[in-house]
Amino acid sequence: MKTSVLVLGLATAAFAGSIAARALPPPVPQVNDAAVMDGMPRALSQFGFFTDQTAQQPAAEVRFYRLKTPLYSDGADKLRFIYSPAGTQFAPNGDGLLEMPVGTAIIKTFAFGEGDARRLIETRVLLHRTEGWVALPYRWNEDQSDAVLALAGARIAVTRPDGAEISYRIPNKNQCKTCHSKDGEVIPIGPKARNLPREWLSSMFEAGHLSAMPAAGAGLPEWADRADRKGRTGQKTADLARAYLDVNCAHCHQPGGGASNSGLDLRWEQQDPAALGIGKPPVAAGRGAGGHSVSIAPGDPDASILVYRMKSTEAGVAMPELGRSTTDEEGLAIVKDWIEGMPAS
């Protein structure tokens, strides 16, 4: 009898141990706050932003977000994520950038293709450290298992889904500052309250990640609405064009930006026609002017320096200077429609 009980007890313990071994999931990777706050980790995986890097499955503390009007980068898809340390919150600052606590990380992965054919090209991270923001570029390896720090940048041959072959450029660490710089300091440029979906902001507030809801101002339009841009008043086209310039150009063309000496201020909130370039002669009429006399010629997009530089892919002429080797035909078309609809002076 005692032997039977002993055997039964051992069997039960072994069975329970087997179930426990099978039931316990592997530990979920957590964000490495030490890596966010110091040094230059050589591999993206060292941050712990993802539970599955190849699938871009974020860790529990990392939140996916999207922009209503996105930045064009040779047609790449972008997967955007944001992280802040436990116990901290973002705070609204009008309709501009959210105020982000030290320890925040903004993660953006560039990819081409879909499903099994998707190829991850690079991931850029912006890290908010005690001394300010630090930008680091990471290049994905061939087997798509991890991305490696690419301080010197890189050129990569990429075939886009439309079949076009391009030489894709990963910026070096210093080039990151070209776009992410205002008044000499590196800052984020994408996640402004006006360019974030209202429902995302609401979910962040309800979850306690945002201290207050931003005031409901005039947010940027949804880029997905661009196919129906020509309304009777032309306002939809104007809004889409202004939003496009705000996202793709205003990080440099604003007071304190890298191109502030041009005299152009292409921010969404700017209403002065001359500051927007309407009828404005260039500060310096070099080859970037293309022989045209004003930045925007009302009613005549083909006589506008802005259109000429958006269309060009020539180094020293093309605008934006970094981030593209091809022409954004959709963005160009919307800006041309906007200019064409202006009453000629």
pLDDT tens digits, 100-141: 999 999 999 999 998 888 999 999 999 999 999 999 999 999
Residue 6 dihedral angles phi and psi, to the nearest 5°: -65, -45
Encoded tokens for 126: 């912006």
Is 284 buried (19+), middle (13-18) or exposed (0-12) by CB count in 10 A?
Answer: exposed
Model pLDDT, residue 142: 94
Model pLDDT, residue 259: 81
Q: Determine the 3-state secondary structure of 69 from DSSP.
A: coil
Model pLDDT, residue 179: 66
Residue 202 dihedral angles phi and psi, to the nearest 5°: -65, -40
Q: Determine the 3-state secondary structure of 318 from DSSP.
A: coil
Model pLDDT, residue 287: 79
What does the DSSP 8-state code read for residue 307? H
Q: Determine the 3-state secondary structure of 275 from DSSP.
A: helix
Q: Are strands 132-140 and 119-129 parallel, antiparallel or unpaired?
A: antiparallel
Contact 188, 71 (CB under 8 A): no
Q: Determine the 3-state secondary structure of 225 from DSSP.
A: helix
CA–CA distance from 275 to each of 91, 189, 239 (Å)?
A: 30, 20, 17
Report d(CA 324, CA 91) in Å as an integer: 32
As a whole-number percent, the residues of the chain with pLDDT over 90 amount to 62
Dihedral of alpha carbons 203, 190, 125, 72, sign: positive
Judged against a pLDDT cut of 60, whether residue 6 lies above it is answered with no
Report d(CA 169, CA 322) in Å as an integer: 9
Q: What is the mean pLDDT of residues 20-34?
A: 65
Q: What is the mean pLDDT of the chain?
A: 86
Report d(CA 289, CA 294) in Å as an integer: 8
Q: What is the pTM of this model?
A: 0.86
Axis-axis angle for helices 329-340, 235-248 (nearest 10): 130
Judged against a pLDDT cut of 80, whether residue 285 lies above it is answered with no
Does an H or E element contain 5, and which? helix 2-23
Q: What is the mean pLDDT of residues 25-29?
A: 54
Model pLDDT, residue 3: 46
| Radius of gyration, alpha carbons of the chain | 25
Outline where DSSP puts E strands in 27-164: 50-52, 57-58, 62-65, 77-83, 105-112, 119-129, 132-140, 147-149, 154-159
Q: What is the mean pLDDT of residues 286-292?
A: 82
Residue 137 dihedral angles phi and psi, to the nearest 5°: -100, 140
Q: What is the mean pLDDT of residues 234-248?
A: 92
Q: Residue 9: which pLDDT band, with cuts at 50, 70 and 90?
A: very low
Q: Residue 2: which pLDDT band, with cuts at 50, 70 and 90?
A: very low
CA–CA distance from 254 to each of 132, 205, 251, 312 (Å)?
A: 21, 30, 7, 22
Model pLDDT, residue 19: 40
Query: Which of 63, 99, 66, 98 minimizes the C-alpha distance to 83?
Result: 63
